[in-house]
């Protein structure tokens, strides 16, 4: 495209930055809210407290009645399906924790210029919809299918490339019973910002795979080359590494900050004596959490896990700490059933993806 037709063409990617947040980062943080960490107390995140990540504009959809999803590409029967038809397919409800792959990006130094998440880009909901495979079976995928692409109704630019938001999945994953065409979140129709009237939910993966405002499904005999698939969501140590695609969520845990906060610094104050520390832990790919440890001033002890809520949902943990007066650092660290454990220091990544370092909370006890 000629430069005149593309006002956002970049000669280079945005440089990494250190220190103060740029105006653009603050503006993105105002659009895309994180889970306030005290809301980790809820097993199911109330919808208005669920984190939010919207790359472009939230599509205006006045009513679900006119919404259709087209299924095309390498299929024997191209389809255009209404929401009413999707609601008539077999339905499932799954409790799924989703985390944004960029969660923790703001804690890296230097950091990539993007949504400057600290810790809160995670939430858990009950998602209701039809397993995607029913629609794919009806359309009939060709034997030479390599990937299936999912396109949202939202469009925009990133690093000079104009595109519909889109992601793809391999056929075996797309045909699993757990990948859903979702129309309801916690038993209510999706809110506009969460993909009304229809989105994909890919349990166990970082959030980017769960395409919102789903309007097209393309069955491909080649790998999908959309920007959100090949131009970002790649783990890279250096800017020009080939890198490794971001897929499943890494094992992680967070703590409800105990005591009461200072309004501006968010530092915590609590009274001495026994205090129950609580939090959540999760991993990706359906791998359960095996244990959570709590570190107080560098000494680790095992936390107690709440009952399992399914392999795609976070697990509660609790630990009683006898708080003594003074300054302390509280840390939580999860290990999953595959033996993966959270690192003590953030793994640096060029795009700021996959920061699953332990959560540290500084407190003053009086
Ligand atoms: N169409 C579309 N789908 C999308 C996005 C988007 O910008 N457009 N953002 C993705 C990313 S990066 C994340 S982390 C999740 C966030 O879902 P939520 O806002 O419902 O929490 O949606 C994903 N699906
Ligand atoms: Mo994300």
59 Cα: distance to centroid of ligand 2 (angstroms): 18
Whether residue 2 has pLDDT greater than 80: no
Q: Which atom of ligand 1 is nearest to the CA of 185?
A: 20
Local confidence band at 253 (pLDDT 50, 70, 90 cut-offs)? very high
Nearest ligand to the C-alpha atom of residue 150:
1
Distance 130 CA to ligand 1 centre (A): 19
95 within ligand 1 shell (Cβ under 6 A): no
Do residues 277 and 289 touch, judged by C-beta distance below 8 A? no
Which domains are present in the chain? 3-245 (3.90.420.10), 252-365 (2.60.40.650)
Q: Does residue 4 have a pLDDT over 90?
A: no
Scan for tokens 């590494």, then name that residue.
241
Q: Does the pLDDT value for residue 189 go beyond 70?
A: yes
Q: What is the mean pLDDT of residues 235-254?
A: 96
The predicted structure's pLDDT at residue 1: 47
Question: CA torsion angle for 98, 100, 103, 108 (degrees, to 10)?
Answer: 140
10 Å Cβ neighbour count for 188?
A: 10
Above 70 in pLDDT, residue 164?
A: yes
Q: What value does the mean pLDDT of the chain take? A: 97
For residue 210, report the distance from its CA to the centre of ligand 2, in Å.
Answer: 9
Contact predicate 98/210, CB 8 Å: yes
Among 53, 150, 192, say which to mutate for ligand 1: greatest number of ligand atoms within 8 Å of CB.
Answer: 53
Q: Is the pLDDT of residue 268 over 80?
A: yes
Decide if pLDDT at 244 tops 80. yes
137 in helix, strand or coil? helix
How remote is the CA of residue 122 from the centroid of ligand 2, in Å? 9
**Global pTM?**
0.97
Q: Could you report the per-residue pLDDT of 294-349, keeping only the tens digit for each?
A: 999 999 999 999 999 999 999 999 999 999 999 999 999 999 999 999 999 999 99
Instruction: Give Cα 314 to chain centroid, integer Å.
Output: 13
Residue having the nearest C-alpha atom to atom 12 of ligand 1:
208
Tell me if 185 CB under 6 Å of ligand 1: no
∠ CA 104-241-238, rounded to 5°? 50
Question: What per-residue confidence (pLDDT) applies to 5?
Answer: 78
Q: Whose CA is nearest to atom 19 of ligand 1?
A: 52
In this prediction, residue 10 carries a pLDDT of: 76
**What pLDDT shows up at residue 12?**
76
CB-ligand 1 contact for 55 (6 Å cutoff): yes
CA 34 / ligand 1 centre spacing (Å): 13
pLDDT on residue 56: 98
- The mean pLDDT value for 100-106 works out to 98
Please answer whether residues 51 and 97 qualify as being in contact, where contact means their C-beta atoms are separated by less than 8 angstroms. Answer: no
Indicate whether 49 pLDDT > 50: yes
Ligand closest to Cα of 57 equals: 1
- Region 260-273: mean pLDDT is 97
Averaged pLDDT for residues 135-145: 98
C-alpha of residue 271 to centroid of ligand 1, in Å: 40
Residue 268 Cα to ligand 1 midpoint, Å, equals 32
Is 208 a pocket residue for ligand 1 (Cβ < 6 Å)? yes
Residues 221 and 213: their CA atoms lie apart, in Å, by 24
- The atom of ligand 1 lying closest to the CA of 213 is 1
Q: Which ligand is nearest to the CA of 210?
A: 1
C-alpha to C-alpha distance for 92 and 94, rounded to whole angstroms? 6
The proportion of the chain whose per-residue pLDDT surpasses 90, expressed as a percent, equals 95
User: How far apart (Å, rounded) are the C-alpha atoms in residues 175 and 307?
Assistant: 29
pLDDT of 280 higher than 90: yes
Dump the DSSP string for 28-62: HHHHSPPPPGGGGG-SS--GGGS----SS-----S
**Site to substitute for ligand 1 among 102, 122, 150, 207, most atoms within 8 A of C-beta:** 207
Helix-, strand-, coil-residue percentages of the chain, each rounded to 5: 15, 40, 45
């Amino acid at each position: 495209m000629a430069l005149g037709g593309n006002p956002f063409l970049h000669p280079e990617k945005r440089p990494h930055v250190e220190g103060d947040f740029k105006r653009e980062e603050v503006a993105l943080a105002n659009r895309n809210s994180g889970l306030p960490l005290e809301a980790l107390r809820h097993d199911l995140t109330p919808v208005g407290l669920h984190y939010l990540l919207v790359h472009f504009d939230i599509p205006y959809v006045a009513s679900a009645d006119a919404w259709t999803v087209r299924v095309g590409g390498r299929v024997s029967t191209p389809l255009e399906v209404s929401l009413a038809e999707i609601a008539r397919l077999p339905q499932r409800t799954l409790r799924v924790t989703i985390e944004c792959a960029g969660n923790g990006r703001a804690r890296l130094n230097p950091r990539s210029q993007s949504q400057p998440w600290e810790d809160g880009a995670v939430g858990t909901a009950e998602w209701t919809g039809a397993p995607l495979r029913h629609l794919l079976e009806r359309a009939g995928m060709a034997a030479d299918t390599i990937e299936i692409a999912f396109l949202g109704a939202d469009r925009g630019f990133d690093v000079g490339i104009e595109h519909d938001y889109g992601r793809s999945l391999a056929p075996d994953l797309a045909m699993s019973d757990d990948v859903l065409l979702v129309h309801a979140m916690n038993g209510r129709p999706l809110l506009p910002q969460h993909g009304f009237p229809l989105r994909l939910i890919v349990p166990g993966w970082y959030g980017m795979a769960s395409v919102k405002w789903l309007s097209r499904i393309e069955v491909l005999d080649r790998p999908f080359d959309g920007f959100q698939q090949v131009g970002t969501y790649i783990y890279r140590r250096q800017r020009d590494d080939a890198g490794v695609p971001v897929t499943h969520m890494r094992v992680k845990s967070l703590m409800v900050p105990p005591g009461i906060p200072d309004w501006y610094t968010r530092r915590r104050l609590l009274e001495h004596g026994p205090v129950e520390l609580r939090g959540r832990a999760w991993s990706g790919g359906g791998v359960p959490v095996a244990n959570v440890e709590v570190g107080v001033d560098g000494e680790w002890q095992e936390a107690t896990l709440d009952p399992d809520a399914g392999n795609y949902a976070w697990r509660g943990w609790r630990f009683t700490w006898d708080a003594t007066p003074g300054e302390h650092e509280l840390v939580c660290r999860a290990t999953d059933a595959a033996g993966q454990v959270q690192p003590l220091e953030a793994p640096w990544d060029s795009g700021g993806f996959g920061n699953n370092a332990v959560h540290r909370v500084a407190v003053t006890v009086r």
